[in-house]
Amino acid sequence: MRRAPFVILLATVVPIALPGQTAPRNSGVTGSGDTVRRASAATAVGPGDQKEFDVWMDQFLVDYLKDPSASLGFVLVKNGKIFFQKGYGYADSKKKTPVVPDQTLFYAASVSKLVTATAVMQLIESGKLAADANVNTYLTRVQLENNFPAPVTVANLLTHTSGFDDSFIVGAVDRPADLVSLGDFFTMNPPRRGRPPGQEIVYSNMGMAFAGYLVEAVSGLSFYDYVEQNVFRPLGMDHSSFRRPFPSNLAPLVATTGVGGQPPDKTAIQLYTAESLVSTVTDMGHFMIAHLNDGRFDDTRILSEAGAQEMHRQHFTMHPPMPGVAYGFFESNINDRRALFHTGGGGHESLLYLLPDDHVGFYIVYSGEMKKNFAQAFMDHYYPTTRAYTLPRPPSDFAQRANRFTGLYRPNFIAMHSIEKLVGMIADTHVVSNGDGTLTLQLPPFGSTSLKMVEVEPLFFRADGGFYISFSEDGKGNITRMSTSGSTKDPASYDKLRWYESGLVHAVLAAAGFLVFLSLPLVSTIRVIRRRGSKAGPERQSATGESHLAWRMATGVSMLVVMSPIPVLTWMLLGDHSRPSQFKTAFHISSSLLLIAALLGLTLSIFAGIAWRRGDWSLARRIYYSAVALTAFLMVPFLHHWNLLGI
């Protein structure tokens, strides 16, 4: 389900930037007596007793189920079969409809990308696509720009290394009726290449949606038809769909509890190949079985053994020891066991987690928020490590080298060419030296979470909780980038910034400029009141039309700036947050006011120059007017930098 654009704009930095995961909210019942003793009997060989596992799940989910909006589905597969599946809470709390594992459909959100990646892998196996081929060779209606020497390949799309500049807002639509074909969408909105491909992981909804468009382009089928015929049908996933509106037989089964009150039959996402899957946990169990069995489900194959293994191997990492990315899947290494996973968020939260070497996997999907890390708890209970991870001793000389790594960073998933760039104002990420040979990573927003880290190899660090952090340098040895990986958080990279690029610095500048413009209408109003109440003669000033026009122009510019936030604030307070078009309209009005103000504001510098040359007004008034003119002049590059001019 699609989140309100403003919520995405301000909150998207938090879940992606933090390397730790907020686990699904725990639902459960309290065990007692022998059931508690049974649940405490952890084993190092994975789950083996269904009753014990049921008790453990109940205990883990106790706090979560206290919330009346709790709605959760879970499935665990082992050795090619569904080992355990269960529903918790209500699919529809108003009707008291319980969650049924093989009937209740949940929003898979970004876990949808795994189905898309599987479809692309099928076409690679059939020879219709080549992993290392330039995607432009398969397209006629759309061509990516050639603004970097290296082309974007199919593999780049599957590993989030395309360098696309993502945008949630561009792909947001109000209703299913507003959806257009992928070909039409990408013709009107070709992905913008913001970074060289193949150099860093930049999580991309646009990239995986474009991969879905490739499926259409080379298969001759719509994406919907292709996955239904080649993924869902062979796997018996009869209760799964990317379609909007939902198929009539599935629509009544979609869970509505805890999804923000948005009517599920009236929501849609244009980048549907990356985000729109709805499915039961039973169906997702079949999908996991196929991947754990190297492409086979019962007597049916969706991938060859070699194709599945190629899809699952690591294809990119920011540093050799770090968990990286396979085709579609991200890597995890909890308790020293390699896992493949993907998370989803939007409508429902989800996590698909595979342990290929153990032939075990689980899928958990739920409404609301979970305060405990399910994957870590599961691994600690069923695959415990021999000893807890502790940071090694820092190198003896690192305290003298620490300043090379310290400074300001910003997550690179933040859009560069859309309004979402504003997220950068709350995304400052700091690395500071502790003076003892260790560093601390202070994560956004505002350093709310921090990790202590120690260098273990040149440019490579380990951090609290077993997280991995690496740094990249340019040809001169200057640090240019930081990357993080670990647990069940997507790998992320951060660009190193200069101090004046800080989001906080820019936020302060924006606030100061706004106050300058706010002061002018107030000062003008006070002057009018004082003039009308005073019997003294007017102060010395030139009584020319230009001087009066100068102040009127400055007042007009200030009023436009002061009024510019009103449309967006009105939408925030009174608008329908399930309709992105309302946000787009509000932002268009706000940015239009700023654009007019910016253009008119350029004239203030001219008026200020005339005033100083002719000696108009008092010295204090000339200084004040010049400050307003300077603010107006600087407003143009500032608004352009943050994509607020609407052009």
- Over the stretch 500-539, which tens digit does the pLDDT of each residue have? 999 999 999 999 999 999 999 888 777 777 777 665 444 4
d(CA 172, CA 169): 5
Model confidence at 11: pLDDT above 50: no
Average the pLDDT over each of 293-297, 506-510, 546-550, 618-622 and give the range with the smallest value. 546-550
The alpha carbon of 420 is separated from its chain's Cα centroid by a whole number of angstroms, namely: 11
pLDDT at 592: 94
Query: Using 50, 70 and 90 to split pLDDT, how confident is the model at 262?
Result: low
Pairing of strands 407-411, 489-497: antiparallel
Confidence of residue 548 (pLDDT cuts 50, 70, 90): confident
**Residue bearing the bigger pLDDT, 70 or 445:** 70
What's the residue count for the chain? Answer: 647
pTM for the complete prediction?
0.89
**Mean pLDDT confidence for 56-63:** 96
CB 590 within 8 A of CB 564: yes
pLDDT in tens, 558-615: 999 999 999 999 999 999 887 888 998 999 999 999 999 999 999 999 999 999 999 8
Residue 17 predicted with pLDDT over 80? no
Report yes or no: 332 and 379 within 8 Å, Cβ to Cβ.
no
Complete DSSP assignment for 430-494 = EEEE-SSS-EEEEETTTT-EEEEEEEEETTEEEEGGGEEEEEEE-TTS-EEEEEEEETTEEEEEE
- CA separation for the pair 532, 549 (Å, rounded): 20
Banded model confidence at residue 619, pLDDT cuts 50, 70, 90: very high
State residue 575 phi and psi, 5-degree precision: -80, 170
Q: What is the arithmetic mean of pLDDT over 54-73?
A: 95
User: Is it the case that residue 4 has pLDDT exceeding 60?
Assistant: no
- If one counts every other C-beta atom within 10 angstroms of the C-beta of residue 101, the result is 19
- Contact yes or no for 102/239 (Cβ under 8 A): yes
Give the per-residue pLDDT at 415. 86
pLDDT of res. 389: 78
Rounded-to-integer distance, Cα 95 and Cα 93, Å:
5
H helix runs in 103-200, sequence order: 112-125, 154-158, 182-188
What's 176's DSSP letter?
Answer: G
Contact 294, 118 (CB under 8 A): no
Q: Which residues contact 387 (CB under 8 A, 6 or more apart)?
A: none
Summarize the confidence of residues 409-433 as an average pLDDT.
Answer: 91
Q: In the prediction, which pLDDT does 168 show?
A: 79
Closest CA to 158 of 330, 376, 307: 330
pLDDT given for residue 608 in this prediction: 95
The pLDDT assigned to 533 comes to 66
Residue 421, amino acid: K
Is 382 in contact with 403 (CB distance < 8 Å)?
no
Percent share of the chain, pLDDT over 90: 74
Predicted confidence (pLDDT) per residue in 369-387, tens digit: 888 899 999 999 999 987 7
Give me the pLDDT at residue 130, please.
98
Q: What is the pLDDT of residue 265?
A: 56
Helix-helix angle 619-641:503-533, to 10 degrees: 150
Q: In the chain, what are the domains?
A: 5-382 (3.40.710.10), 398-501 (2.40.128), 503-641 (no CATH)
Residue 10's pLDDT band, with cuts at 50, 70 and 90, is very low
Helices 580-614, 566-574: axis angle to 10 degrees equals 160
Q: Which two tokens stand for residue 84?
A: 């355990």
Point out which residues pair with 192 in neighbouring strands: 165
Say what the pLDDT of residue 223 is.
98
The DSSP annotation for 481-507 comes to: EEEEEETTEEEEEEEEE-GGG-HHHHH
Matching residue, tokens 């959806």: 179
pLDDT recorded at residue 16: 41
pLDDT of 266 reads: 60
Query: What is the three-class DSSP state of 531?
Result: helix
Q: Residue 342: CB partners within 8 Å, gap ≥ 6? A: 110, 111, 113, 114, 328, 329, 330, 351, 352
Residue 400: partners with Cβ closer than 8 Å, 6 or more residues away: none
Residue 30 predicted with pLDDT over 60 = no
Among 12-21, 133-142, 312-321, 493-502, whose mean pLDDT is lowest? Answer: 12-21
Residue 344 CA to its chain's centroid (Å) = 10
CA–CA gap between residue 327 and residue 316 (Å, rounded): 9
Query: What tokens appear for 314 in the block?
Result: 């690591």
Angstrom distance (rounded) from CA 178 to CA 184: 12
| Amino acid code (one letter) for 210 | F
Rounded to 10°, the helix 205-219/112-125 angle is 40
**Rounded average pLDDT over 173-196:** 92
Half-sphere exposure of 202 (CA within 13 A, CB side): 28
Confidence band for 444, pLDDT divided at 50, 70 and 90: confident
335: left (phi over 0), alpha (psi -120 to 50) or beta: left
Query: pLDDT at residue 433 above 60?
Result: yes
pLDDT digits (tens, 9 = 90+) for 467-504: 999 999 999 999 999 999 988 888 999 999 999 999 99
Question: Any idea what DSSP says for residue 392?
Answer: P
Mean model confidence pLDDT for the chain: 88
By DSSP bridging, strand 240-241 and strand 278-279 are: antiparallel
Q: Provide mean pLDDT across the span 454-461.
A: 95
* pLDDT tier, 545 (very low <50, low <70, confident <90, very high otherwise): low
Give percent above pLDDT 70 in the chain: 89
Q: Which pLDDT belongs to residue 534?
A: 63
The string of pLDDT tens digits covering residues 269-316 is 899 999 999 999 999 999 999 999 999 999 999 999 999 999 999 999
Place of tokens 């690395």: 431
284 contacts: CB under 8 Å, gap ≥ 6: 75, 108, 111, 240, 352, 363, 365
| Beta strands 81-92 and 429-433, pairing class | unpaired
Distance CA 324, CA 490 (A): 9
